[in-house]
Chain A
Amino acid sequence: MSDQTLTILLFLVVVAITIGITIWASRETKSAADYYAGGRQFSGLQNGLAVSGDYMSAASFLGISGLISTVGYDGFLYSIGFLVAWLVALLLVAELLRNSGRYTMADQLAYRMNQRQVRTAASLSTVAVSIFYLLAQMVGAGTLVVLLLEVDEGLVKNVVIAGVGALMIFYVTVGGMKGTTWVQIVKAVLLMSGTLLITVLTLMQFNFNVSDMLGAAAEQSGSGQAFLEPGLVYGVTTMAKIDFISLAMALVLGTAGLPHILIRFYTVPTARVARTSVQWAITLIGFFYLMTLVLGFGAAALVGTEEIAAVDPAGNLASPLLAEAVGGGEGSTGGAVLLALIAAVAFATILAVVAGLTLTSASSVAHDLYASVLRKGKATEKDEVRVAKIAAFVIGAIAIGLSILAQDLNIAFLVALAFAVAASANLPSLLYNLFWRRFNTRGAVWAIYGGLVSCVGLVIFSPVVSGPTTGTALFADSDWSYFPLSNPGIVSIPFGFLMGYLGTITSREKASEERYPEFEVRALTGAGSETAHH
């Protein structure tokens, strides 16, 4: 059996397992609360695994280890931001959100504000963040499969993207939140086990001496000791340093504004379980990033930075190549088996994350735009769920189309952009609403649109989109890069908060202030919150 056959076989096993789960879950899904929130009966560990599954995307698994293997320590900075960010979710958001919302991010705003306005705004930013994130995953899936199966680019890549899209539409429309959550749980277990296996095998090569591994990595990287120090990419100029600080802000503040993470807190019965699930997520994600550190430096040491970059300049295949190396190298049975195994895990990762993202945007379109704005709350639950399924289909189709167009975009950039939009547009209104009595509709709407427009606008005028600076800009031949940074967060995040503040103090909304005491009691104690459905 050739390597490719084995890889394809394992891919098919992953697909079969996930389809099985989805069909089982569809039988358990009856009400709207089942479809949107999985019946709210997941345990802390289950939801912690699912949250981790949603979070540890292909960009984390392939992207961060790839970055570490090619640029060294600077790649590690990503993992730290991604982990520390969970404290914002734990301390400020998870429990209060669980108690004050139902199905979508907009619910907690709509409780005390003008529903039509805040739901429209929140739905728009939910879809925007999810689409950027979706693109990153689907482009990644195309690249991964083309490189692993050693097939010609072009048509096959498009077929793979369309196939992933079709599967994701299937998971979401048939399985709903329950199916998607179980797919995440299975994926998280597969990902953690696969990563642990490769980590242990890698450390064994160095007799568990981390210092030796780092030394070998520095030697094989071609950059010497600088490979183990910060600044290889982000320390070249002052502007690069500011760009890095901007990125760091988006990473740490973006997580608690990611809609597909936020709605996971609705799948548990109480705020206490929401807390436990974040704690499980922090534990799992923390150990996962510690392991990617070993994978990244291990890949540099055992495969070599030059070799990794030759296969894929962004380094995205560092982990699969490392798996092959520790399994016995190219041509050996062990190498082929481990390579196929890790590739299948990466594939499962992509499938699960795209499903979570599609469900999130479809829920928001159905629950916020259709049921509340269009039908003014007169839609039946059945109607709402039907529209959610149609929306999943449409969003899936749009994502497939955009991904085929966006094939050459850098995956890490798309993910960073999703985090920046989440931090600029979603986090300000979320925090103001939870903690500030005076906050009102105008404040929420200004914060969301202000953060969204400034963030996307600055990216359009950044060196990532045009100009010769980065060398990989979309329009390298013309230059309208008036904003010098690749990461907009350092400007757009404070701008989102400022707009929320200004919008609030320039208008008075008695109803919003009067309902705050009820909202606050509900958020802090869970009195009157949505309960579990059995």
Chain B
Amino acid sequence: MAEDLTTSQQAAYHRIHDSDDFAVLRKRVRGFAFAGTAAFMAWYLLYVLLSSFAVGFMSVQVVGNINIALIFGLLQFASTFLIAVLYSKYAASQLDPISAGLLAEYDKKDV
């Protein structure tokens, strides 16, 4: 084990773990992380597969020398920026208040 916990630390950890707030926090953290990961991985995989097996489609020129492949690639950049922004907004409003409350709960144990 990395370190030995005091009884009051252990009790605080388990009290927090069993609380309703913590259940909500865990559900939200996992919900966003897993759904977000599934979404961007599927989107990225689609891009990789199209680049390998649908070169004809990717080569269609849209404006001048700018083809679908380039636009699709730039959209991967855009989606990455977008997911990062969405996550930060979600975390600030849905996750941080709960985890701050639970952290305060933990810090009260020594009082």
**A residues adjacent to B (C-beta < 8 A):** 73, 76-77, 80-81, 83-84, 86-88, 90-92, 107, 110-112, 115, 210-212, 214-215, 218, 225, 228-231, 234-235, 241, 244-245, 248, 252, 271-272, 275-276, 278-279, 282-283, 286, 289-290, 435, 511, 515, 517-518, 520-522, 524-528
Contacts and interface: CB of A to CB of B under 8 A. Distances in A.
A229 B2 contact: no
Nearest to B9: A528
Interface string B5-27: 10001101110110000100110
Contacts of B66: 210-211, 214
Contact of A211 (B26, B65, B81): B65
Contact of B84 (A73, A90, A115, A524): A90
Chain B interface mostly helix, strand, loop or mixed?
Answer: helix
Contacts of A511: 1
B1 A279 contact: no
Contact of B59 (A87, A225, A282, A525): A225
A525 B16 contact: yes
A525 B99 contact: yes
A524 B26 contact: yes
Chain A interface mostly helix, strand, loop or mixed?
Answer: helix
A87 B37 contact: yes
Contact of B81 (A81, A282, A435): A282
A352 B97 CA distance: 37
Nearest to A216: B65
Given A115-B2, A212-B65, 15 more contacts: A80-B73, A81-B44, A86-B84, A87-B37, A92-B33, A230-B55, A231-B52, A244-B51, A248-B44, A283-B84, A286-B77, A517-B17, A518-B10, A526-B103, A527-B12
Contacts of A272: 96
A215 B64 CA distance: 8
Contacts of A212: 64-65
Nearest to B81: A286
B17 A241 contact: no
27 contacts: A80-B44, A80-B77, A83-B80, A84-B44, A91-B37, A91-B87, A111-B2, A115-B1, A212-B64, A225-B65, A228-B59, A228-B65, A245-B52, A252-B41, A279-B84, A283-B84, A286-B77, A290-B74, A517-B13, A520-B26, A521-B16, A524-B26, A527-B16, A527-B102, A527-B107, A528-B13, A528-B106
B86 to A, nearest CB: 10
Given A229-B69, A521-B13, A245 B48 contact: yes
Nearest to A77: B51
Contact of A73 (B30, B47, B70, B88): B70
B91 A235 contact: no
A83 B75 CA distance: 12
Contacts of B36: 87, 91
B3 to A, nearest CB: 8
B77 A290 contact: yes
Contact of A110 (B2, B80, B102, B106): B2
A275 B88 contact: yes
Contacts of B25: 524-525
Residue of A80, A83, A245, A279 contacting most chain B CB atoms (<10 Å): A80
A476 B46 CA distance: 36
Contact of B30 (A228, A435, A521, A527): A435
A73 to B, nearest CB: 6
Closest 9 CB pairs of A and B: A211-B64, A527-B106, A230-B51, A214-B65, A241-B52, A517-B17, A518-B13, A229-B59, A525-B102
A248 B52 CA distance: 11
A525 to B, nearest CB: 4
B67 interface: yes
A521 B37 contact: no
Contacts of A245: 48-49, 52
Contacts of A73: 69-70
Nearest to A225: B59
Given A225-B59, A241-B52, A521 B80 contact: no
Contact of A228 (B5, B67, B84, B102): B67
B70 A228 contact: yes
